[in-house]
Amino acid sequence: REGRTVHDNLMKVIAWTLPTSGGEALIILAAIGLGLALPITPLQILWVNMVTAVALGLTLAFEPTEPDAMRRPPRPADQAILSGMLLWRIAYVSALFVAGGFGVWFWALSHGLEIEVARTMVVNTLVAMEIFYLFSVQGGHDRPLGLRGAFSSAPVWIGVAVVLAAQAALSFTPLLRAAFDTRPLPLDAFALIVGVGAALLVLAEAEKWAARRLRLSPARAAPR
């Protein structure tokens, strides 16, 4: 039981970390490749990684045992960790991060906001998407998110609270604003940011539903 819990939680950490990091990297690479101004600076990327990797990613290691952990058959010893279906989900979610990041970026610029404000919006959008995606991963690769998934782990909610406090400090405290070149955001910007994060959660859950319907869920393809 303990071994399966550890393995399940390791898979959750991987399933959360790789798409979020991949999405951030692809935003930078796409901007450079297209000759665009960077939607997020390297220092801001460093902030996102420092805050979310510790406060969000590590909380998945403390997830409780899955209800069906002892009902599943033993996984083959030679089964790879990064299965084809898991690699697909990493690519899919990374693409959602790129779409969300650039969508907010172009929205901000089209509304005449300063580039520093636009970048601050992108930083907060990435963090919002990472928070919402955390709940999708917490629910499990083969099950839709439910009340059990959302409220089963106190460390996750503590991590979310820490990240929200850190993001508020990044946008509104003079010291961090000067260090990371951020700006305070208008209220409508926060509505857009939360909306993009929620949209990612819906699309991630829709992918899980479709995978189950096709009998190709990441949980089936990934080792247990």
Using DSSP, state whether 20 is helix, strand or coil: helix
d(CA 69, CA 63): 13
The reported pTM is 0.86
Residue 148 burial (CB count, 10 A) = 15
Q: How many CA atoms, within 13 angstroms, populate the side-chain half-sphere of residue 33?
A: 6
Q: What is the pLDDT of residues 148-188, one digit of tens each?
A: 555 567 888 999 999 999 999 999 999 999 999 999 998 88
pLDDT of 68 > 70? The answer is no
d(CA 155, CA 178): 31
The CATH H-level superfamily of 2-221 is Calcium-transporting ATPase, transmembrane domain (1.20.1110.10)
pLDDT number for residue 222: 44
The whole-number average pLDDT for the span 10-24 is 91
Instruction: State how far Cα 117 lies from the chain centre.
Output: 22
pLDDT number for residue 148: 56
* Domain coordinates in residue numbering, the chain: 2-221
- Asked if 83 and 223 touch (Cβ cutoff 8 Å), the reply is yes
